[in-house]
Each structure stands twice: as C-alpha cells, then as structure tokens.
A and B are shown apart, each in its own frame.
Chain A
Amino acid sequence: MNRIDKLFKDKKKDILSIYFTAGFPELEDTLPIMRALEKAGADIIELGVPYSDPIADGPTIQDSNTLALQNGMSLNKLFEQLAKMREDISLPVIAMGYLNPVVQYGIEKFCKKCQEVGVDGLIIPDLPMKQYISEYKDVFDAYGLRNTFLISPQTSEDRIREIDKHSDGFIYMVSSASITGAKSGISQEQITYFERIQKMGLSNPRLIGFGISDNETFSTAAKYAHGAIIGSAFINLLKKAKKEGELSGVITSYIKKVKGE
C-alpha cells in the first residue's frame, strides 16, 4: 500500500509534514535530515527539489534552493542519495519541485526513478490540473505516485470540487493568499476559510501549509484539517542548526515543541 494512503488511513489528525530543500544546508545533508525527521516524530517528509526560479516561494525557500544548486544538487544527484533511503526510512516521502527540471529529466524516467527509490507522491505547483489530467496522470498512476494539488482562499468552490475529484493522497491548503514564508500567525479570516473548506466534506484529506511555524500555528491549523505542513520555519531552523553543528538534536527538540510534547 502507498505510504501516503496508509498514513491517512491510520492517522486522522495532527499529521505533521515537514518540507526541506534537498542538498541544503549542505549537499550530503539530505538523508541525515530525513533520518532525524523520522526519529523526531514527523509524519511526512516533503523533499524539495531545488529550482532556479521557484515562483511560489518566498525568500527563505528561494535562498535554500539557490544554495542547494550551488552545492551541486540535481535530480541525478538526488536519486543517487535516495537510492538506499528505504533501508532506514519508513515515512511517506513526497517530492516537491517545479515542472521544468522534471520535464528535462523526462517525465517517465522521473516517475520510474521515484518509484525505484521509494518516493510516494509529488507536488508540482506549476503543473496545472488540465495538463495533469491530459498528459501526466497516467504516468504518475503507472508508477504508484500520488499527486497533490494546492488550493488557496481564492479558489472557487467549483474548482475545489474539481480538484478534489482529481486528487489522490491529500489536498494542500495554502493558508492565505501568499507565497511561502510570507506571513506569520493565523488570522480570524483564515480560520473562516479553514471552516468553509472543512464544511465542504471533501473526499480527500487536507493539510494546511504556508505560515505554519510553531506549536500555536500548527495546533490551530490542525483543528481544521488533518494536519499541517511546515517549510520556511524549518529551513530557518536548519540554517541555525548548522551553525551550532548539531542537526539531529535541534530537529528533535523542534519537532517535539511543534507537536507540544
């Protein structure tokens, strides 16, 4: 069974997904960070594939992308690093990246590699639903990859229903009209939006991301969905941890704090 499906079958709330950019802060940090996340009690690993022009991301994730590329990260390198991932990592792993590097690598080859190393799903923010259905869905399905779409406060109800129909895995709820890392705290307006979506009775589970950084924002968001996603705040933590030279300990105490343990 796909690990994403299994997770949402077994766990209905407080799911914590952590994003970080592969090859950041240093090229060979990818696997150690994944191991630390598993040990610390995260539920999903969202692995960012760095890109030169990440238009949905704020400065924090942009910089981590730039640095990872400077470090020498590429899809070839990433698949090399992930080759033995499943020896000691059992969490669902989602690759998040922009469309162009995937297209250049070759869609089919990319999906096949993902399956080989044990990636469970994909988030490609600039792959539109229409194109996905007509050109990509069959390939993703053939290699057992779940595809996640984003919705935002501006997404119309009809469009959300359509997205729900074509999603498998989960729906990524962007918490506000923003790029990543742009806002902090959760406003009443956002809660109204969370409630509106909650009441729609969608068939896919939902995770809320963008603007989630600590226990307070995580637990608030988790009340209105199956869990939440942390990205920029975790990237900032990695930057700090690297200076202190102790990745695993810093990650563990952060994850525990976010989960209120």
Chain B
Amino acid sequence: MIAVDENGFYGKFGGAYIPEMLYPNIEELRENYLEITTSADFQEEFRSLLKDYVGRPTPLFFAGRLSEKYGAKIYLKREDLCHTGAHKVNNTVGQIILAKKLGKKRIIAETGAGQHGVATATVCALMGMDCTVYMGEVDMARQKPNVERMRILGAKVVPATSGSKTLKDATNEAMRQWINNPVDTHYIIGSVVGPHPYPEMVARFQSVISEEMKLQLLEKEGRENPDLVIACVGGGSNAAGAFYHYYNQPEVRLIAVEAAGLGISSGKSAATTLLGKPGILHGSRTLLMQTEDGQVVEPHSISAGLDYPGIGPVHAHLFDSGRGEFVAVEDEAAMQAGIMLSRLEGIIPAIESAHAFSALDQIKFNKEDVIVINLSGRGDKDLETYIKWGNY
C-alpha cells in the first residue's frame, strides 16, 4: 500500500495543479473514486473482467535459463500475456467501469506508443462507449499499426500537433479537450501521472500485479516477499503496480529502471530522476526534465512507452525518500536484453520491459535471491524497431 495524503501528495510530490476549469471534473472524481471503486458492486465487475476478459491472474514464470545466467532465482510476472499485450488494460478496465458509474458517455485518452490508446479503445468497444484518443503527430507516424488497431476498435484518433507532437503534447491535448467537455466526458489517464487522484487511482488498479505476485510466490517459494522487484519506469504504472504491496516492506528491494536513451549526458535521454528537477507537469509536482527556465524538455528513448519527461509522483517520492533504487539503461543495452530474453526464454519482450532485464547487469544481488521482473508488455508492437536495429 502506497500512502497518499488527503491533498494527493506522496511526500513532496503530487497534488493537483490544475486550471480552475478542470477543478469540477477532478473534484467529482476525487470525491467519488474511493467509494465507487471499493464497493462490492464495482469490485465484482472489475474482478470478473480481469479474470475472463483480460486473462488474469497472469502467470508468475520461473525463468530457468535466465536464472542460471545471472545466478539468482528469477521469476517473470507475465503482464505481456494480458489481453491487448500489456498491463495497461488493468487500468482501463477499472476506469471504464468507474466512468460508467459516474454516468459518463464519452471517453478521451492520451497515448504515446499507442498501447494505452489500444487498451482504452478496447474497453470502450466492450462497453459501447464513444472513444477519442489523442496522439502526437510524430508518434502516429511511427506507430502506425497501433493507430489502425484503435481505428478498427472504433476509436477516433486525433493528432496532437502542438509542441513536440509526442506523448506530453497528446496529454496536454487530452486535458484541453476535457476542459472543453467537462460534463459528459471521462479522461482515462494511462499512467500514474496527472493531478490527484489519478496517480493513486491508477496505482490501485495496477496493484493487482503485486497482489497476485504475493500469492504466487507463496505457492512457489513458500514466502510472499521476493528479495527484489524490478520494473521499468516511464510514467511508471507497471512499476507502481508491481511495487504496490511491497512498498512498506523494506526488506524487498524495489528497482526502478529508467530509459537512458543514447546516454545520460547525450541530451537524448529519458532518465528523469537523474536529469530532472522538481517541477510541475500535467497537474502534479514531480521530478521533471526541464531547462533552467522551467520549460519542459523533450525526452528520448528508443521505447516510446518510456519517452516521457516526467515520472509519476509516487516514483519521485520513491527516489527522493531512498526507498527505491533507480537504474538507467541505454537504448542499445535494452535492445540487447530484449534479444537475450528472446533467446533464453522464448519471450520477445516489449522494449520498455527489456530495459528492466538489462538492469540485471547493473545491480548487485546474491545467489539465493528471489527476483521478480515485471514483464510489462510483449514485443509484437516493437517488431519494426527490432528489425530496424537489426543486431540479432
């Protein structure tokens, strides 16, 4: 359980820095989300969809050959086996049920690589709700298959044409559209970012990941707690879910893996905790990559899902408080780790998740340690990037 205070702060980070035009929307959500999402009615529908539609629980797989290579007991939490190919759908299922209970008729969402957009379009189709996804013009061009997946699912995909035309601009655009449609529309944010209560709410929906991990580890290892949990972090929703139930157990090391892009000092990186300073983006106070003048810097990562200049406030706090260990992995190392996992275990990971595997080369652990790596998504969507990289 990761505690947030009544104003939505994790330590120094979080809050709701929003224009007054968004205040009623956010307030409606804040006042209702806990009561609705903890009700028996909601939980029944949520659990049933996670089981029969998403395909949960996802397996906890003992990766024998990988364990042998690194000299530890390494398990993979198979979020890549979720419907739509990544953990993102855990959150969209939760939020769409919430939106329905709030009486909303329309859904809007932002997306970077398109995974959250696809997960949103999917649940909108399932629930028969109108869906518009904002996506940076640049991302639309480089993630064409996901654009078409969303369209096949019946969603409207609108290009964000301002600023750098990527994820942060898509998020700006979705917020603007929420200002323009405050009454009938719910905004499904895809990560543990944005104004309170979003980070906390999304973390709760994703917490099913570590909830299952505990039960599965108990069965396989006779104990609920691993020694390490490793997850990649862009905004940080899969990491928030994988860390959630271990946060207050200091004996469990929480390893957050950021994208170093072409290198920390290359100017082409997305390693927010290393390069960022406290600042305000998308409604929350967090660590943020920015110029000295406080203008937001465009990040770079080979993985579109980690290509975000901020980080969820919960992770900023994890970093600031020293509870988490942060590692940065460069593009090249992540790609190599992706190939390594493909060859050792027969699993092609999403490039986001590949970063988490590369962290094994950077951190120290003991031979008897039980390590869980959150395999947040599958690599199908990244085939083109793998092919372009070509080094396999």
The interface of chain A, by Cβ under 8 A from chain B, is: 51-59, 62-63, 66, 69, 74-76, 98-105, 125-128, 130-131, 149-152, 154-156, 159, 163, 174, 177-179, 182
A99 touches B175 (CB 8 A): no
Query: Could you pull out 11 A-B pairs where Cβ atoms are within 8 angstroms?
Result: A51-B294, A69-B295, A99-B280, A104-B279, A125-B19, A128-B15, A130-B7, A131-B17, A154-B21, A154-B25, A155-B23
A53-B168, A56-B19, A150-B20 known; A100+B175 contact, CB < 8 A: no
The residue of chain B having its C-beta at the shortest distance from the C-beta of A74 within the complex is B293
A150-B19, A174-B20 known; A101+B293 contact, CB < 8 A: yes
CB distance from B288 to the nearest CB of A (A): 7
Report the bound CA distance from A53 to B168 in whole Å: 8
Q: Chain B residues near A130: list those with CB within 8 A.
A: 7
- Which of the residues A74, A76, A177 comes within 8 Å of B181, measured between beta carbons? A177
Q: Chain A residues near B279: list those with CB within 8 A.
A: 100, 103-104
Report the bound CA distance from A130 to B175 in whole Å: 21
CB distance from B178 to the nearest CB of A (A): 10
A62-B162, A100-B280 known; A51+B182 contact, CB < 8 A: no
The residue of chain A having its C-beta at the shortest distance from the C-beta of B25 within the complex is A154
List residues 159-181 of chain B with CB under 8 A from any CB of chain A: 161-163, 168-169, 172, 175-176, 179-181
Is B16 interfacial (CB 8 A cutoff)? yes
CB distance from A29 to the nearest CB of B (A): 19
User: Which 6 interchain pairs have the tightest Cβ spacing?
Assistant: A104-B294, A101-B294, A154-B24, A150-B20, A125-B19, A56-B19
Report the bound CA distance from A239 to B179 in whole Å: 26
A75-B293, A101-B294, A179-B176 known; A150+B21 contact, CB < 8 A: yes
Report the bound CA distance from A52 to B296 in whole Å: 6
Q: Chain B residues near A163: list those with CB within 8 A.
A: 20
- Which of the residues B15, B277, B294 comes within 8 Å of A131, measured between beta carbons? B15
B180 touches A182 (CB 8 A): yes
A55-B176, A66-B163, A128-B16 known; A152+B21 contact, CB < 8 A: yes
CB distance from A222 to the nearest CB of B (A): 22
Q: Chain B residues near A177: list those with CB within 8 A.
A: 21, 179-183
Q: Chain B residues near A66: list those with CB within 8 A.
A: 162-163
Is B292 interfacial (CB 8 A cutoff)? yes
List residues 1-53 of chain B with CB under 8 A from any CB of chain A: 7, 15-21, 23-25
- The listed residue with most A CB atoms (<10 A of its CB), out of B18, B175, B176, B290, is B176
The residue of chain B having its C-beta at the shortest distance from the C-beta of A129 within the complex is B20
Q: Chain B residues near A62: list those with CB within 8 A.
A: 162-163
Q: Chain A residues near B7: list those with CB within 8 A.
A: 130
Report the bound CA distance from A224 to B114 in whole Å: 46
- The listed residue with most A CB atoms (<10 A of its CB), out of B7, B172, B288, is B172
Is B340 interfacial (CB 8 A cutoff)? no
A56-B179, A59-B162, A62-B163 known; A100+B20 contact, CB < 8 A: no
Q: Chain A residues near B290: list those with CB within 8 A.
A: 100, 104
B163 touches A53 (CB 8 A): yes
A155 touches B163 (CB 8 A): no
Is B59 interfacial (CB 8 A cutoff)? no
Q: Chain B residues near A57: list those with CB within 8 A.
A: 176
How big is the B interface, by class? 35 or more
CB distance from A70 to the nearest CB of B (A): 11
Q: Chain B residues near A74: list those with CB within 8 A.
A: 293
- Which of the residues B25, B180, B295 comes within 8 Å of A179, measured between beta carbons? B180
A55-B175, A174-B21 known; A154+B280 contact, CB < 8 A: no
Q: Chain B residues near A58: list those with CB within 8 A.
A: 176
Q: Chain A residues near B16: list those with CB within 8 A.
A: 128
Report the bound CA distance from A58 to B15 in whole Å: 24
Is B263 interfacial (CB 8 A cutoff)? no
Report the bound CA distance from A167 to B6 in whole Å: 24
A155 touches B20 (CB 8 A): yes
A55 touches B19 (CB 8 A): yes
The residue of chain B having its C-beta at the shortest distance from the C-beta of A62 within the complex is B162
Report the bound CA distance from A62 to B169 in whole Å: 11
Is B140 interfacial (CB 8 A cutoff)? no
A149 touches B20 (CB 8 A): yes
Is B154 interfacial (CB 8 A cutoff)? no
Report the bound CA distance from A96 to B118 in whole Å: 37
The residue of chain B having its C-beta at the shortest distance from the C-beta of A163 within the complex is B20
Is B240 interfacial (CB 8 A cutoff)? no
Q: Chain A residues near B288: list those with CB within 8 A.
A: 100
The residue of chain B having its C-beta at the shortest distance from the C-beta of A73 within the complex is B293
CB distance from B177 to the nearest CB of A (A): 9
Report the bound CA distance from A28 to B292 in whole Å: 21
- The listed residue with most B CB atoms (<10 A of its CB), out of A59, A74, A149, A154, is A154
CB distance from A102 to the nearest CB of B (A): 7
- Which of the residues B23, B176, B283 comes within 8 Å of A159, measured between beta carbons? B23
Q: Chain A residues near B282: list those with CB within 8 A.
A: 53, 55
A59-B162, A126-B18, A152-B21 known; A52+B295 contact, CB < 8 A: yes
Report the bound CA distance from A228 to B20 in whole Å: 18
A101 touches B295 (CB 8 A): yes
B163 touches A127 (CB 8 A): no
CB distance from A177 to the nearest CB of B (A): 5
Is B281 interfacial (CB 8 A cutoff)? yes
Q: Chain A residues near B183: list those with CB within 8 A.
A: 154, 177
A99-B280, A125-B19 known; A155+B24 contact, CB < 8 A: yes
CB distance from A154 to the nearest CB of B (A): 4
The residue of chain B having its C-beta at the shortest distance from the C-beta of A154 within the complex is B24
A51 touches B295 (CB 8 A): yes
List residues 321-376 of chain B with CB under 8 A from any CB of chain A: none
Q: Chain A residues near B175: list those with CB within 8 A.
A: 55
Report the bound CA distance from A69 to B297 in whole Å: 12
Q: Interface code B296-340, partner A: CB below 8 Å = 1, 0 otherwise?
A: 100000000000000000000000000000000000000000000
Report the bound CA distance from A75 to B16 in whole Å: 24
